[in-house]
Structure 1
Amino acid sequence: MLSSFYTAAQANTRQAIASIDISHEYHQPIGEHSYVYHPKQPIQAIQARQLFQQGQFTRQNSPTINFGIGAKPTWIAVEFLNPNDKPTSRFFQIKNSWLNRIELYQFHQQAVTKVRILGDQYPFDQRADNGRYFNSMLMLPLGKSQLLLHITSPDPMVVPMYLLTHNQAADELEFESYTYGFIYGAITCLLIYNLMLFIGMRSISYLLYSLFLFSFLLMNIAYTGHGFRWFWSNTPMWQQWGLPLLMMAFNVFGLLFALRFLNIRQLYPRLHRLISTICIGFPGLFGLAYLFDDQVMALILAFDFMLLFSFLMLMLGFFAWRANMPNAKIFLLASVSSMLGTATTGLAVIGVIPYSNMTFRAGEVGLLIDVVLLALALANKFRISERDKLHAEYMAKTDPLTGLNNRRAFYQKTQQFIKASKADKSLVVVIIDIDHFKAINDNYGHQTGDKVLIAIAKQIQASQRQQDIAARWGGEEFIIVLPQTKMKAAQAIAEGIRQRISQLRFSADASDLAVTASIGLAYGHLRNTAFDELIEQADKQLYQAKSQGRNQTCPLIAQTA
């Protein structure tokens, strides 16, 4: 009687198992159709199947099975129903790349029809296909069959299981190829561009940003499985330790870049010391975990550092924004994007939020937006730096009051003319001096004197031809070089300037102030007369104009061969 009761209970339990009808297509993970069991001690596949049939497994209520980092070895069972009139093949896929060991057993009736051992603790070359995920082609017989998985891994035990038709698998592969091609292409272009800028400019900011991009690229290809497939297929140890190490590198280079880019050392020295200590402390702890071969601790440190990294980048952007740092808003927006993306992926992987294709790839999208925005911010910083540099160069060569060339710029431009002019090197030097300028400053103040200087500089600029070189020569003196100009034409230009100056009026002490200027000119050919000699001769003519009563031009034609 007890035996018949147990048999009936077992039958009822057997009927309660939800089977996956393969006549339908499943576009989402099939975790909700699966059952899990955590044995207290190791068991064999046959025992696991018996426990599953006896109802000892627990049905899952989410599309993706997720037990987080350092989970105990787990059995997962799925039952398939093939209502077709012939066996049907389906593509079974666990859509991640970091589980250490997966034992796959397929049962039909009382026999094991398929056994496969997968996992990243084995060289990639031992896999039956070139897929970067854990794949297996299942031939599902008529009626019901079971698939049991035994998974052992210190990595986040995330098991997104998919059951796909051949067309679905091909479409998935094509879509991911395009999207990853776009991501890797964009990051590689940014990386090459910023490396070239670093080589050309020797700016540490560009080097740190390039390392940040490179570590992001390596980190991505590590956790997506591309790296194991393409670059280190025969190095399972690197596959298991590389991801947390690259996460550490990404965080460190990102924070070091942010500290330098936002000038945190000068703005917030204590914050700079704190974050510098964090950038040393976490990798140091990771090194200890590696020495003690504690992969679980290394993964916990890496994921915790990733979450802390997102928060610190956001905090740095906020503090820089408060300090009115240029590009702080762009940096803050980039940090928000990175934080949301990495936090979503990190929380999904460790099991805090539901795992899906969208939450898994949220980190890629967020970080891609982040690096693009940071590239724009870095480019904008470079543009501002170049603008400031050009402005500084301009100010170094420009008289700040009048906007004319100063003496330094005057000599640079005249020397360029002298070197460039191979044939006709004749020219006229004109020196202009404001009459009684000291009296203007003494009687009406320096502010009025500045207005006079500015107004006369404008008259000189208005008379200046494209090839002429004008500068403020001294306190109230101006100089003009008129290349390839005869004395008669130069005298007409100088006389026009003198007349316009004499017509200027300035308001001073409730009266109009009139000013005049005296002008000296010297003409010569540089084959026979040194340039400085022409300046000296024009200066002598200026003093002659002053001695003759001021407000006049006084020319001198130098002797030529």
Structure 2
Amino acid sequence: MIFSFPIYASQSIEKSFAVEPFNTRYLQEVDGIALHPNQALKGVRSKGIRSESDILNFGLGAPPVWVHFAVSNVSESEQLRYIQIENSWLDHIHLYVFKGGKLLQSNKAGDAIPYEENRTNRFFSFPHKFQPGETSVLIRVETPEPQLLPLFVLTENDMLERKINSGYEYGIIYGFLTALLIYNVLLYFSLQSRRYIFYSLYLATFIILNLAYTGHAFKWIWPNWPEFQNQMIPPMMMLFAYLGNLFCRAFLALPTKFPRINTSFNLLNTFMLCSVIWYALSGNYLTMLVTAFICVIPFALLMITAGVVACHAGVKEAKYFLGAAIFAMISAIVTAFTVSGVVEYHPFGFHAVEYGILIEAVLFALALAYQFRISQTEKIEAQRLADRDQLTGLYNRRGFQKVIEPIYSNATRNNRNICVMLMDIDRFKEINDTHGHSFGDLVLLDLSGLLMRELRAGDIVARWGGEEFILVLPETQHDEAVTLAERLIGVISNQVVQQQQLDVQYTVSIGIAEMSDPMDSMSNLIDKADHYLYKAKASGRNRVAYKVEPTRELVSEI
């Protein structure tokens, strides 16, 4: 069997049949005058325009068009084939099949008719048993949307195979995007960050928009609402761009970091919002559709501009955002230009926005994950800095309380030894007054470094305030703590702090307290150590004071 047509032939057709190119002709109606099928058949044969492309594409708002091609059945028996238009958004389609000047079949379809009344799948498919010889096929198409006509003549097996392949393809797309949508919704409820809810809405809008223009939504969700199917795509395109802008503003913090670009986003969003309101009031579908297609370009360019500026400003996660925006722009413009007839039809161009959104979704997910990691790192670092003394890097009082609580609880619960030392730099005010506060900071740094080197891994040291330091020694007997304190006194007294031509030595005084009662609190233990520190200072400094018997205190002579 030989089919002769200038339509796009799949590889399965080419393998099954000998396909010869035949010049399809088309004729557009003028002045709004509808033609009778017989008039159209005669007119298209005599003055129809010969198609120079495999796929007919007349662009947005084109007048109704009549398309004619012939099919030659050289076999001796009738053959069932399906004439399929693989486009889901055409409003009105009339198909006529002629043989020998006689009308054999007439069908009406389109998404202006409830789904169940004219379709068996999301495309427009017309079965016909072709008799031996030549048969003429005449199709009239009327729609304000892009008049794109990917025509196929398929066997039943061909049609089933294409349906299965398409199902796998869209199953992967929708499954991936839905999983990503759910993941980001959960992140929003967990983290309460606006960027996640805006991205979730952005993804959800694309899914609904894609379901609508591919015909899946008309088949699965609103099959009895053809008017809604016909009217919803332009405002959904606007909403998609609007939410994309909101996501970009939140992700890159445009209002605070890049106010000028944020103003451009606000202007575009205001224009799109006004356009949707105007459309709701006027009902001018074609103007709204053209506006929606035009807005794709500034939307994509603004996203890229924001990404470039953020990258230049050193925003680390912006590189992922920029990559996603570039893919989104290229894919959206390619698809928009393909379906609107600006460029010649190609299957890749038709599906570019779907491929692009998958790559964009992956890159945006990486950007969000990277941003989350950065924010968590910054949060951890901020918490760490909040618990640390900025000068010495030791724990401050806040950090000390967090660290010591479980250690002290373990000691009291298990009746383990624990000792506390309070250490104070002798005559530190004189050091500051004589040599300046910057030199005093050097002394503090020198002492903190020495303590970190001399103490054991399990010991805790913190800057208690000013020139005071606190040391907690878990699993340490009182005499062991005294020995350590006396060794520290000796080591510290031999330290020399240098600055330019200045060499200065300093000393410290230490008070030691041991936990004697499991019911004793850490604050009481610190108060006791502070009491002995006062004793050491009052006894001449550069020494250790502690309790040796229930009624006797000792100040060591170093």
Q: Taking structure 1 as the reference length, what is the TM-score of the superposition?
A: 0.90
Which is worse superposed, 248-257 or 457-466?
457-466
Q: How big is the shift at 1:512?
A: 4.4
State the alpha-carbon separation in 2 of the partners of residues 56 and 233 from structure 1. 39
Which is worse superposed, 89-98 or 158-167?
158-167
Residue 537 of structure 1, aligned match among 517, 524, 528: 528
Query: For residue 462 of structure 2, what is the aligned residue in structure 1?
Result: 471
Query: For residue 395 of structure 1, what is the aligned residue in structure 2?
Result: 385
Do the aligned residues in 2 keep the contact of 1:21 with 1:83 (CA within 8 Å)? Answer: no
Do the aligned residues in 1 keep the contact of 2:59 with 2:147 (CA within 8 Å)? Answer: yes
- 2:227 maps to 1:233: no
Query: For residue 141 of structure 1, what is the aligned residue in structure 2?
Result: 131
State the alpha-carbon separation in 2 of the partners of residues 61 and 45 from structure 1. 24
Do the aligned residues in 2 keep the contact of 1:523 with 1:558 (CA within 8 Å)? Answer: no
- Which residue type is aligned with residue 192 of structure 2? R
TM-superposition CA deviations, 1:280-334 (whole Å, max 9, x none): 3223222322333322122112211222211221222223233333322222221
State the alpha-carbon separation in 1 of the partners of residues 548 and 128 from structure 2. 104
- Which residue type is aligned with residue 517 of structure 1? V
Query: For residue 266 of structure 2, what is the aligned residue in structure 1?
Result: 276
Residue 345 of structure 1, aligned match among 331, 335, 350: 335
Query: For residue 218 of structure 1, what is the aligned residue in structure 2?
Result: 208
Name the SS for the 1:358 alignment partner: helix
Structure 2: give runs of 5+ residues left out of the alignment: 552-558
Query: For residue 376 of structure 2, what is the aligned residue in structure 1?
Result: 386
Which is worse superposed, 427-436 or 357-366?
427-436
State the alpha-carbon separation in 2 of the partners of residues 169 and 464 from structure 1. 79
Do the aligned residues in 2 keep the contact of 1:519 with 1:553 (CA within 8 Å)? Answer: yes
TM-superposition CA deviations, 1:445-478 (whole Å, max 9, x none): 4333323322321232234445433210122211
Q: How big is the shift at 1:346?
A: 0.3
- 2:444 maps to 1:453: yes
Residue 237 of structure 2, aligned match among 247, 256, 262: 247
1:437-516 map, 5 Å: 437-510=428-501, 512-516=503-507
Q: How big is the shift at 1:270?
A: 4.1
1:218-367 map, 5 Å: 218-367=208-357
Q: How big is the shift at 1:202?
A: 1.1
TM-superposition CA deviations, 1:140-171 (whole Å, max 9, x none): 22111011101111111111112233443333
Residue 13 of structure 2, aligned match among 25, 43, 47: 25
Which is worse superposed, 473-482 or 485-494?
485-494
Query: For residue 47 of structure 1, what is the aligned residue in structure 2?
Result: 39
State the alpha-carbon separation in 1 of the partners of residues 497 and 21 from structure 2. 89
Q: Is the alpha carbon distance of 1:21 and 1:272 closer, same or farther for their aligned partners in structure 2, counting shifts above 3 Å? A: closer
1:165-184 map, 5 Å: 165-184=155-174
Do the aligned residues in 1 keep the contact of 2:74 with 2:132 (CA within 8 Å)? Answer: yes
Do the aligned residues in 2 keep the contact of 1:425 with 1:526 (CA within 8 Å)? Answer: no
Query: For residue 435 of structure 1, what is the aligned residue in structure 2?
Result: 426
Do the aligned residues in 2 keep the contact of 1:491 with 1:521 (CA within 8 Å)? Answer: yes
State the alpha-carbon separation in 2 of the partners of residues 463 and 556 from structure 1. 24
State the alpha-carbon separation in 2 of the partners of residues 18 and 172 from structure 1. 19
- 2:372 maps to 1:409: no
Q: Percent identity?
A: 34
Q: How big is the shift at 1:255?
A: 0.5
Q: Taking structure 2 as the reference length, what is the TM-score of the superposition?
A: 0.90
Name the SS for the 2:486 alignment partner: helix
TM-superposition CA deviations, 1:179-203 (whole Å, max 9, x none): 2111111111111111011101111
- Which residue type is aligned with residue 373 of structure 2? R
Name the SS for the 2:465 alignment partner: coil
Do the aligned residues in 1 keep the contact of 2:5 with 2:20 (CA within 8 Å)? Answer: no
Do the aligned residues in 1 keep the contact of 2:6 with 2:21 (CA within 8 Å)? Answer: no
Do the aligned residues in 2 keep the contact of 1:430 with 1:479 (CA within 8 Å)? Answer: yes
Do the aligned residues in 2 keep the contact of 1:317 with 1:331 (CA within 8 Å)? Answer: yes
Question: Cα RMSD between the aligned structures?
Answer: 2.7
Query: For residue 114 of structure 1, what is the aligned residue in structure 2?
Result: 105
State how many pairs are aligned. 542
Structure 1: give runs of 5+ residues left out of the alignment: 1-16
- 2:67 maps to 1:79: no
Q: Is the alpha carbon distance of 1:21 and 1:99 closer, same or farther for their aligned partners in structure 2, counting shifts above 3 Å? A: closer
Query: For residue 192 of structure 1, what is the aligned residue in structure 2?
Result: 182
Q: Is the alpha carbon distance of 1:503 and 1:83 closer, same or farther for their aligned partners in structure 2, counting shifts above 3 Å? A: farther
